[in-house]
Amino acid sequence: MASARSLLDGRAVRDATAWGSGRVAQVVYKICRASEWREAERAGAFGGAAIDLSDGYIHFSTGEQVAETAARHFAGMGDLVLVAVAAAALGPALKWEPSRGGALFPHLYGVLTPDAVLWVKPLPLGGDGRHMFPELES
């Protein structure tokens, strides 16, 4: 299987369906506690946070959605990481489903494996209590 990076470099973006304006999200993002991510690294896969396990899929956001996700579901929480994932590397297990006001959100019906992860970065809180994001791709 091709690496996540080569998939992003334009060779293949498999059915990582459009999310609103006809564009394809090549990168999706997961916010989780740093401790959850460290455990996933030890285990060799991320099965999801408690909410993911409860819902039956891993919640992701696009670059345009992730700041609102942080504000709604992780407000004021420290010790978080942002995981960037190549959408195409997730294959058909990645589904785009309506959520918040009908917007399509990426949901992974499976586990997240290291080959799909592009990078993991801390998601610190700024002085105003909001999370400070690195530069994101859509």
Secondary structure string (H, E, C) spanning 46-80 = ECCCHHHHHHCCEECECCCCHHHHHHHHCCCCCCE
User: How many whole angstroms from its chain centre is CA 101?
Assistant: 19
pLDDT in tens, the chain (138 residues): 343 433 333 323 333 343 344 455 899 999 999 999 999 999 999 999 999 999 999 999 999 999 999 999 999 999 999 999 999 999 999 999 998 688 999 999 999 999 999 999 999 999 999 999 999 986
Rounded CA gap, 77 and 71, in Å?
Answer: 10
Domains in the chain, start-ordered, CATH in brackets? 4-122 (3.20.170.20)
pTM assigned to the model: 0.83
Q: Which two tokens stand for residue 5?
A: 């990076």
Helix (H) or strand (E) holding 4: helix 4-6
Helix H or strand E segment including 42? helix 34-43
Cα 52 from Cα 102, distance rounded (Å):
19
- Cα separations in angstroms, 21 against 18, 39, 63, 82, 101: 7, 36, 14, 25, 15
